[in-house]
Amino acid sequence: MWGFAPMYFKLLLEVPAPDILLHRIIWSMLILVVLVVALGQFAKVRKALLTPKVMKILLISGLLLGGNWLLFIWAINNDHLLDASLGYYINPLLNVALGRIFLGERLRRMQKIAVGLALFGVGIMIVSYGQVPWIALALAGSFGIYGLLRKQVDVDSMPGLFLETLLMMPVAIAYWIWFASPASNMFENSTALNLTLMCAGVVTTAPLLCFTGAARRIMYSTLGFFQYIGPSIMFVLAVFLYHEPLHQERLITFALVWTGLALFSFDSYRHFQRNRKARKAAMAADA
């Protein structure tokens, strides 16, 4: 679903990116209210609300998430889908680096090589184009730091997203009142445009719910491979459907990042298998 999200946002080319974000926040909020009540998550929401430290972190993570959503929408509707794809390819490798820097997590040899390949690929783009691929790095960075912050708070994904979206609501409503374009006036829009804008909530929450459900049903190592499906679909859409230019230097960057991800995935799978065998051996010894 994440991979095909650009096709949805391309339907809203006439609407400015901040206005699309506004609707994404508001309609997501309504869906999350229903889900929190229906699934009995309000006690977890209340517990987080009464914990100032948790709310401070969720405020920052919510701002990062909103910024990530806004940049993603802008990138798609300004023909930078390849940059968005690159950003989400880089994200898993950036997470490894952030874990090393801020959490003191040790990197295995293949992880170091994978991160190095990604950095080398980005360096090629900087040298070739004379500019930093800021869209890709900003998307990867904002989502990477978002994930790092969420690791610091003991809040489940749905209550956490509910509170982050709730904290974004005052900004969204203020923008709607004072700054929104005529395209956000739902009394003057066509029914088709209004329905498309309302679907922003589904586009936001449905992939999250599917991911959460999958995480409970399949091995984590298998789930890790699925995170590359989204940017891969974006890459195909950008090149073959929207005909964004894929210059040689950019292709080399993608190739280096793909190689790094292949090494990263292989290393993660091998590490997972070793740990599983070690646990089985320990259980057999105890028996």
The pLDDT value given to residue 170: 95
Q: Which residues are CB-neighbours of 163 under 8 A, at least 6 positions away?
A: 45, 48, 49, 55, 58, 62, 155
Size of the chain, expressed as the number of residues it contains: 287
Give the ranges where the chain is alpha helix by DSSP (H).
Answer: 5-10, 17-38, 42-49, 52-77, 81-103, 109-129, 134-150, 157-178, 191-198, 200-217, 220-226, 229-236, 248-286
How far is residue 62's CA from residue 79's CA, in Å, rounded to a whole number? Answer: 26
The pLDDT value given to residue 125: 80
Residues of the chain with pLDDT under 70: 129, 211-226, 286-287
Q: Express each pLDDT in 104-163 by its tens digit.
A: 878 888 888 888 888 888 888 878 767 788 999 999 999 889 988 988 888 888 899 999
* Closest to 194 (Cα-Cα) out of 202, 183, 178: 183
The pLDDT value given to residue 121: 86
- Residue 45 is encoded by which pair of tokens? 């929401």
The pLDDT value given to residue 221: 47
Q: Taken in order 113, 119, 121, 123, is the CA torsion positive or negative? A: negative
Is 109 strand, coil or helix?
helix
The pLDDT value given to residue 58: 95
How far is residue 167's CA from residue 25's CA, in Å, rounded to a whole number? Answer: 10
